[in-house]
Amino acid sequence: MLEIKNLYAGINGVSILKGVDLTVNPGEVHAIMGPNGSGKSTLAKVIAGHPDYKVEQGTMEYEVNLKKLDLAAMEPEIRAREGIFLAFQYPVEIPGVNNSVFLRAAFNEICRHQGAEEMDPIEFDQYLRQKMKLLEMDEKFIDRPVNVDFSGGEKKRNEILQMAILAPRLALLDETDSGLDVDSMKIVANGVNKLKSKNNAIVLITHYQRLLNYIVPDFVHVLSDGKIIKSGGKELAIKVETQGYDWLI
Amino acid sequence: MISTGLKPQKFIEQLRIKRPHSKDDLPPWLTNLHEEGVKRFSDIGFPDPKNEEWKFTDIAPITEKSFHFPDEKTIAELRSFNEYVDRNEPTIVFINGFFSARYSSLNGLEQGLTITNLAQAVKDQPKIIQSLLFRHDLKQENSFSALNSAFFKDGAFIQISDNAVCNRLIHIIHIVSQQNDDTVIFPRNLIILGRSAQAEILESYVSFSKIRYFTNAVSDVFVNEGAKLHYYKAQGESLNAFHLAGMRIAQEANSEVNTFTFSAGAQISRNDLSVTLDGEGAKAVLNGLYAVSGNQLVDNHTAIDHKPPRSLSTQLYKGILDGNSRAVFNGKILVRREAQQTNSYQLNKNILLSPSCQIHTKPQLEIFADDVRCTHGATIGQLNDDEIFYLQTRGIRKDFATRMLLCGFIDDVTGKIPNVSARTKIDELLTKIFPALKCKI
């Protein structure tokens, strides 16, 4: 699904990723851990296409529906329409833009691109309410401006709601667990688990092993100074949790 | 302030030669008023850039020209006009300054509602019109309201009698249609709401052409005790036009006025909106939106005079600027010594879409009472790249994302328009001139 080879990328002329190799197949859950500043969030942003980050070297090949796509050559919205989703570490507040209007606009853009039928407001409203139940979200969020005056936890839930609505092939969750209390984390993790299938893949970026108790990864990678220095199974996350990163670096 | 740089005499003389009506047609008091206007304008002349009130608004492109009165009375762009007008609503139309009975819809008006053209009202109810027109001290008028007093010929006269409620939107349209460049119109509108009367009025200035002309308008609005008015002003003039307008609102006790001032057209435009809160418990809510691009200049000057105790004013003006455009917002709030327990809020927010546009924003508070609450604020910003990226990662195209954000930005102004018909018309007018505000999803 995603094959990243020898990826170098940076911002303002400073390299942050220095030769990342990562292969993600459908049905897999990958966790990326690593110390602060190791480039975890940058990797997510580069895959999603943040314009501030420049790819300096290497390739990102994304395979979907038997098409092989060169991600670096695609606008962020095209990546999204091809099924890549980034749940933000710090979701952006958008005053004046109603949550359901925004979600329907996004949903229909993606449908149009994929040749699926668009939904009218009434159909979409039902679809939205059903997905909100999955995340135990209050209906008041339907008509509120996107993320405005949402608590930290509500914002994170709203991210996963968007993931549920847009049904991506490859979901990148950037520290979705940060700022969540245990109960909220269980709800979010439960939502993510329900969205998991053999056709899609999830990449979790996290500092802590805690989330991985709820969303169990098939692979754990440790990123340090822009490179993946160690890959393993879920036991690697437990080892990092108890021993830190020093033994790896 | 007396300016010396520009020559008002020449400007006036050119117009006087071709005065559209002979003095004999008019009652002496009206001729007298015009003469007073000429005198006042000759005395003070055009404001020059040293005038604090006009510091950022250079009107040389206007004063350098020689204008003449139009003579065409037809609409060349009928299709656009018909799209804009709803003939099921009370509508009074002026084409190139001339009242048009043909395009107006003034039959079957609500009980207690009078809509006519001012020239007719002068004949029908001279005493009332005379007293209203002289309500403002001519010796205090600024340059352009004096100029309007000197030359106005017609405009809308709207009277809503005591306790009358008009549920339909009343539409005043001043349209300038295809003709030679450099004509000038001087609309004068007079609106009076009786005690506890209620109305919603839209005043439109439109042209569906690219011609150059000058609109110098004045609207006087009198709102009696307990009356409630929503007043929308939509300025969608030709992009080559000049629009300098004054609106003066006088409010009695417990009255409520909500104004919405929209500016998108004209090369140079200015709104001088002054509100006098003359009775206890009067409330004024002033909202505004300007969206300009290219080399446009838009200037909004508001002035609120809190006279009695316990009055309230709030202002929210938002602006979007692109290209090399410039905007000015100056919000003056005067709280007199007697005006204890005044509440007054003012906020001006701007988004600059290009590095070469400019906004000059200034609050101007003069407070003489000690028990008041006044706040003001101004922001100038750009569209946030992170917000755009966020929307893009949800599959939304960059230009669509930009539009969504801009529409979100103006939503707390446009969303406050309670009248659907007014909102639709204003939306049509704005998006035609400034397509980035097209928000329909």
pLDDT score recorded for residue B363: 95
**CA–CA distance, B135 with B276 (Å, rounded to integer):** 13
CB B81 within 8 A of CB B207: no
Is residue B18 in some structural domain? no
Nearest to B396 among A51, A52, A106 (CB): A106
A5-29 pLDDT, tens per residue?
999 999 999 999 999 999 999 999 9
Is residue A25 in some structural domain? yes
CA distance to partner chain A, nearest, from residue B409 (Å): 6
Does A239 contact chain B (CB < 8 Å)? no
Q: Where are the beta strands (DSSP E) in chain A?
A: 2-11, 14-24, 29-33, 53-64, 67-70, 84-87, 94-98, 145-146, 170-174, 201-205, 219-224, 227-232
Is residue A249 in some structural domain? no
Work out the end-to-end distance of chain B between its first and last CA atoms, rounded to an integer number of angstroms.
50
Is B363 in the same domain as B405?
Answer: no
> Residues near A161 by Cβ (< 8 Å), separated by ≥ 6?
A103, A131, A132, A135, A137, A141, A191
CB B360 within 8 A of CB B56: yes
Q: Where are the beta strands (DSSP E) in A165-232?
A: 170-174, 201-205, 219-224, 227-232
CA count, 13 A, side-chain hemisphere, B261: 27
Residue B241's nearest CA partner among B264, B217, B215 is: B215
Which two three-digit tokens encode residue B149?
């007093």
Which two three-digit tokens encode residue B191?
């609106």
B-chain residues within 8 Å CB-CB of A106? 391, 394-396
Domain count, chain B: 2
Is B324 in the same domain as B418?
Answer: no
Does A95 contact chain B (CB < 8 Å)? yes
Place of tokens 């029908």: B124
CB B354 within 8 A of CB B382: no
Is B309 in the same domain as B401?
Answer: no
Helix (H, G, I), strand (E, B), or coil: what is residue B158? Answer: strand
pLDDT score recorded for residue B10: 81
Which two three-digit tokens encode residue A120?
């009218």
pLDDT score recorded for residue B288: 97
> Residues near B131 by Cβ (< 8 Å), separated by ≥ 6?
none
Is residue B13 in some structural domain? no
Is residue B58 in some structural domain? no
Strand partners, B124: none
**Cα distances (angstroms) measured from residue B84 to each of B217, B231, B433:** 21, 18, 14
CB A171 within 8 A of CB A203: yes
Chain-chain contact of A97 with B390 (C-beta, under 8 angstroms): no
Which two three-digit tokens encode residue A82?
């091809």
Is B268 in the same domain as B345?
Answer: yes
CB A38 within 8 A of CB A206: no
A-chain residues within 8 Å CB-CB of B396? 77, 80, 105-106, 109
Chain-chain contact of B395 with A102 (C-beta, under 8 angstroms): no
Is B228 in the same domain as B191?
Answer: yes
Is B372 in the same domain as B362?
Answer: yes
Is residue B23 in some structural domain? no
pLDDT score recorded for residue B23: 54
Nearest to A96 among B391, B393, B412 (CB): B412
Does A85 contact chain B (CB < 8 Å)? yes
Average pLDDT of the segment spanning A44-51: 96
Q: Which domain holds residue B126?
A: 69-389
Quickly count: other Cβ atoms within 10 Å of residue B187's Cβ.
Answer: 23
Q: Which domain holds residue A8?
A: 2-243
pLDDT score recorded for residue B441: 46
pLDDT score recorded for residue A243: 87
Helix (H, G, I), strand (E, B), or coil: what is residue B431? Answer: helix
pLDDT score recorded for residue A241: 84
Is B132 in the same domain as B249?
Answer: yes
pLDDT score recorded for residue B4: 45
Is residue B27 in some structural domain? no
Q: What are the percentages of helix, strand and coil residues in chain B, rounded to 5?
A: 25, 40, 35
Domain count, chain A: 1
Is B211 in the same domain as B339?
Answer: yes
φ and ψ at A50, to 5 degrees? -60, 125
Chain B residue with minimum CA distance to A171: B393
Q: Per-residue pLDDT for chain B (441 aa), expressed as one digit of tens each? A: 444 445 777 888 877 766 655 555 789 999 999 999 999 999 999 988 788 899 999 998 998 888 989 988 889 899 999 999 999 999 999 999 999 999 999 999 999 999 999 999 999 999 999 999 999 888 889 999 999 999 999 999 999 999 999 999 999 999 999 778 899 999 999 999 999 999 999 999 999 999 999 999 999 999 999 999 999 999 999 999 999 999 999 999 999 999 999 999 999 999 999 999 999 999 999 999 999 999 999 999 999 999 999 999 999 999 999 999 999 999 999 999 999 999 999 999 999 999 999 999 999 999 999 999 999 999 999 998 889 999 999 999 998 999 989 988 998 898 889 999 999 999 999 899 998 888 654
CATH number, domain with residue A165? 3.40.50.300
DSSP string, B260-328: EEEE---SEEEEEEEEEE-STT-EEEEEEEEEE-TT-EEEEEEEEEE-SSS-EEEEEEEEEE-TT-EEE
CB B89 within 8 A of CB B171: yes
**CA–CA distance, A86 with A103 (Å, rounded to integer):** 15
Residue B168's nearest CA partner among B118, B191, B202, B204 is: B202
Is B89 in the same domain as B160?
Answer: yes
Computed over every residue of chain A, the mean pLDDT equals 92
Does B94 contact chain A (CB < 8 Å)? no
**Cα distances (angstroms) measured from residue B319 to each of A134, A178, B289, B352, B408:** 40, 37, 6, 8, 13
Q: Is the pLDDT of residue A215 over 90?
A: yes
The DSSP secondary-structure symbol of B68 reads: B
Beta strands A94-98 and B358-367: pairing type? unpaired
Q: Would the CA dihedral through B2, B5, B6, B7 be positive or negative?
A: positive
Is B151 in the same domain as B212?
Answer: yes
A150-173 pLDDT, tens per residue?
988 899 999 999 999 999 999 999
**Cα distances (angstroms) measured from residue B255 to each of B167, B195, B252, B336, B374:** 17, 9, 6, 19, 20
DSSP string, B106-151: -SSPPTTEEEEEHHHHHHHSHHHHHHHHTSS-GGG--HHHHHHHHH
pLDDT score recorded for residue A48: 96
Is residue A141 in some structural domain? yes
Q: What is the H or E stretch that residue B160 is in?
A: strand B156-160
Is residue A248 in some structural domain? no
Chain-chain contact of A92 with B441 (C-beta, under 8 angstroms): no
CB A134 within 8 A of CB A194: yes
Is B144 in the same domain as B217?
Answer: yes
Is B273 in the same domain as B405?
Answer: no
**CA–CA distance, B129 with A166 (Å, rounded to integer):** 63
CB A81 within 8 A of CB A37: no
Calculate what percentage of chain A has a pLDDT beyond 90.
71
